[in-house]
A = this chain, B = another copy of it.
Amino acid sequence: MRHEIARRSGVGFELREGQTLTVYDPRGEQVADLLAYNRADIREVISSGRTLDYASKLFIGVGDPLYSNRSNVMLDIVSDSVGRHDFLLTPCSKDTFRIIYGDDAPHHGCFGNLERALAPWGVEPDMIPTAFNCFMNVSVDFETGALSVDPPRSKAGDHIAFVARMDLIIGLTACSALQSNNGSFKPIEYEISG
């Protein structure tokens, strides 16, 4: 059964060890920020730095484990119809919109949505790290290191699927930043199986 995450919103849910989480982009060119916490101890959380270090690459895909800050495998990517996701940039937030977009009355962003969605499990804002950004398309200039946030490569119906390697609390959003999703806000869908 597929669930919808409405535009510019987010959800929190539990995922048991062995279960599969599939994230769908129902309309194409949308981004979903994904966070994972150890259900038994929320101080253990998904880690971009450890994952990129152990994979020795920036673009994470099928076969790559997503590690925690304690170097345990939290999730494995088992299926992916897109092939480009981001694990560099933090969830968009009031500060993102203020600093990058210059907004006077900024939206609370994925950060605010994750904060609200994860509060029932005791996750505090300071415990929200860099998320795994499904479908987000960030390129790097080899010489200068300049980052460009390009339109996602995902087309309507594309997906990425993860298997949980421990009991997890998941935070998942339909991204709120215009730059990430080529200028329009769209929903995200997800399914839990197993």
Stretch at the interface among A2-10, A19-27, A137-145, A181-189: A137-145
CB distance A49 to B52 under 8 Å?
Answer: no
Chain B residues lying within 8 Å of A58, measured Cβ to Cβ, are 88, 140, 145-147
Q: Would you list which residues of chain A between 93 and 134 have a CB under 8 Å from chain B? A: 93, 95-96, 99-100, 124, 126, 128-130
CB distance A88 to B146 under 8 Å?
Answer: no
- Which of B57, B69, B99 interacts with A54 by CB under 8 Å? B99
Chain B residues lying within 8 Å of A69, measured Cβ to Cβ, are 126, 128-129
- Please, how many residues of chain A have a CB less than 8 angstroms from a CB on the other chain? 39
7 additional A-B pairs beyond A43-B126, A56-B147, beta carbons within 8 Å, are: A48-B48, A50-B95, A58-B145, A58-B147, A71-B93, A71-B95, A141-B142
Q: How far is the CA of A45 from the CA of B127 in the complex (A)?
A: 11
Chain B residues lying within 8 Å of A99, measured Cβ to Cβ, are 54, 71
Chain B residues lying within 8 Å of A57, measured Cβ to Cβ, are 144-147
CB distance B53 to A100 under 8 Å?
Answer: yes
Known contacts A59-B144, A126-B44, A140-B140; A52/B93 CB under 8 A: no
A residues sitting closer than 8 Å to B (CB atoms) are 43-45, 47-50, 52-54, 56-59, 69-71, 88-90, 93, 95-96, 99-100, 124, 126, 128-130, 139-142, 144-148
Listed A/B pairs (16) with beta-carbon separation below 8 Å: A43-B124, A43-B126, A45-B126, A48-B49, A49-B130, A50-B90, A50-B95, A52-B89, A53-B90, A53-B100, A54-B100, A56-B100, A57-B144, A58-B147, A59-B145, A129-B129
